[in-house]
Amino acid sequence: MTATTTATTAHVNSLTTGQLPKWAPWAILLGSWVLVGGVFALMNTGGDPGDFNVGGTMFLGTVLFVVLLTVFSTVAENRRKAMDRLVTALVVSAFVVVLIPLASLLYTVLINGLTRFDAEFFSSSMRNVIGEGGGAVHAVWGTLLITLGATVISVPIGLMTSIYLVEYGRGRLAKAITFLVDVMTGIPSIVAGLFASAVFVAFFEPGIRMGIAGSVALSVLMIPVVVRSSEEMLRLVPNELREASYALGVPKWLTIMKVVLPTSIAGITTGVTLAISRVIGETAPLLLTAGITQGLNTNLFSGQMTTLPVFVYTQYRSPGMYPDEAIARAWAGALTLILIVMVLNLVARLVAKIFAPKLGR
């Protein structure tokens, strides 16, 4: 029956009848934008063309598009397909909605950050700077040293714990550690700061601030991340490799050192780099533990230290008598911070790609 109809009317394809053509959604989208834009333009007649409401046009136009698409689809197709098209439109617009803040954030940081992203910013500290000039060399050093301290504390503990969990862990202790590592991932960063601050106050005098306290606070946040990622990587090492090594009479610890770790070292490095990039942007715990200073201090064990995030925060929070200069420095600091984090992420990905073990084919 259908076959004969198609034969007589050759230009109708029975597979696509009762469907909106492929270009229909795009046409409806463009149409609704133009329509809403026209309405806004009419409301704006006589006014300044710069007042044209672009955001409103895009937003209401998209809403109109979703409604029109659903209505057209209900009429031309059926309710089930209309529902499908509605959800597709919503899902795609959810994605676009999230892209907007990301684009805006990166754009603002780049534009505002470049005004003070100069040699002076990386060669001078804030000592004796009131208005123009000044820089973040002390904050860059503080960030590097405190993060290095946190890494030195966290990586051995985290890595050995993950080795314990994967290679040795049986029974209650392993379960308890797994659970507590999960708990630790959820510790709010400010609570880690309070903890480190309380510990150092207990051992020194009240109100003590020093770089190493910041490192301790950061390692509370970093250890669980290192444990999680290394554990995952160690579990990926195939058991055949371990068994082959045992069969050759190699002791367990040498098997771990010479077979398991080298196989998974790329993944572990990636995990550690990502963990560093996570804690390097922490502000709140360092505000409580490492303190704030205007000058360069490279001694982790005495005196206050400023890190880049804290530098950004203080420049924004207490701009002093020349707020424009301070805000410009804050943006430059934010740009530096984002660049550091991006580079770390990139390095992590490259390491994972280049040094990945050639398992299987």
Partner 1 sequence: MTTASPARTAQRGVRRLGDRVFSGTAVGAGIVILLLLAAVALFLITQSIPAFTVDPEDVSILRGQSFVEYVGPLVFGTIWAALLALIVAAPLAIGIALFISHYAPRRIASVIGYVIDLLAAVPSVVYGLWGATTFAPIVRPFYVWLNENLGWFPLFAGDVSATGRTILTASLVLAVMILPIMTAICREVFLQAPRLHEEAALALGATRWEMIRMAVLPFARGGMVSAAMLALGRALGETMAVTMVLSVSGVISVELLTSTNPTTIPANIALSFPEAYGEGVNVLIATGLILFLVTFAVNALARYIVNRRSAFSGAN
Among the residue ranges 26-34, 95-103, 118-126, 260-268, the one whose residues contact partner 1 (CB under 8 A): 95-103
Minimum CB distance to partner 1, residue 10 (Å): 27
Minimum CB distance to partner 1, residue 320 (Å): 16
Among 173, 350, 356, 359, binds partner 1 (CB under 8 A): 173
Q: Within 13 Å, how many C-alpha atoms sit on residue 6's CB side?
A: 8
Distance CA 263, CA 216 (A): 30
Sites for partner 1 among residues 29-48 (CB under 8 A): none
Q: Which is nearer to partner 1, 34 or 201 (CB)?
A: 201
Q: Which residue has 């991006």 as its token pair? A: 342
Minimum CB distance to partner 1, residue 8 (Å): 27
Residue 292 in the binding site for partner 1 (CB under 8 A)? yes
Sites for partner 1 among residues 318-357 (CB under 8 A): 327, 330-331, 334, 337-338, 341-342, 345
Among 37, 135, 149, 169, binds partner 1 (CB under 8 A): 169
Minimum CB distance to partner 1, residue 27 (Å): 20
Sites for partner 1 among residues 212-231 (CB under 8 A): 220, 223, 227
Both tokens of residue 52? 């044209």
Residue 134 in the binding site for partner 1 (CB under 8 A)? no
Q: Which residue has 């950050």 as its token pair? A: 113
Distance CA 132, CA 329 (A): 10
Among 316, 322, 339, 357, binds partner 1 (CB under 8 A): 316
Rg (CA), the chain: 29
For the stretch 35-62, what's the b/e string if a residue is b when 16 or more beta carbons lie within 10 angstroms of its beta carbon? bbbebbeeeeeeeeeeeebeeebeebbb
Distance CA 334, CA 140 (A): 12
Residue 109 in the binding site for partner 1 (CB under 8 A)? yes
Among 12, 187, 350, 359, binds partner 1 (CB under 8 A): 187
CA 217 to chain CA mean position, Å: 20
**Which residues have C-beta within 8 Å of that of residue 270, sequence separation ≥ 6?**
229, 348, 349, 351, 352
Q: Which is nearer to partner 1, 43 or 97 (CB)?
A: 97
Minimum CB distance to partner 1, residue 340 (Å): 9
Cα maximum dimension of the chain:
96
Minimum CB distance to partner 1, residue 164 (Å): 4
Sites for partner 1 among residues 238-257 (CB under 8 A): 246, 249, 251-254, 256-257
Output the CA–CA distances (angstroms, integers) from residue 177 to 161, 180, 276, in the order listed.
9, 5, 22
> Residues in contact with partner 1, total (CB under 8 A)?
97
Both tokens of residue 33? 């934008």
Q: Which is nearer to partner 1, 34 or 185 (CB)?
A: 185
Minimum CB distance to partner 1, residue 157 (Å): 5
Distance CA 170, CA 168 (A): 6
Both tokens of residue 104? 């805006």
Output the CA–CA distances (angstroms, integers) from residue 128 to 118, 210, 293, 294, in the order listed.
19, 22, 12, 8
Among the residue ranges 16-24, 182-190, 229-237, 352-360, the one whose residues contact partner 1 (CB under 8 A): 182-190
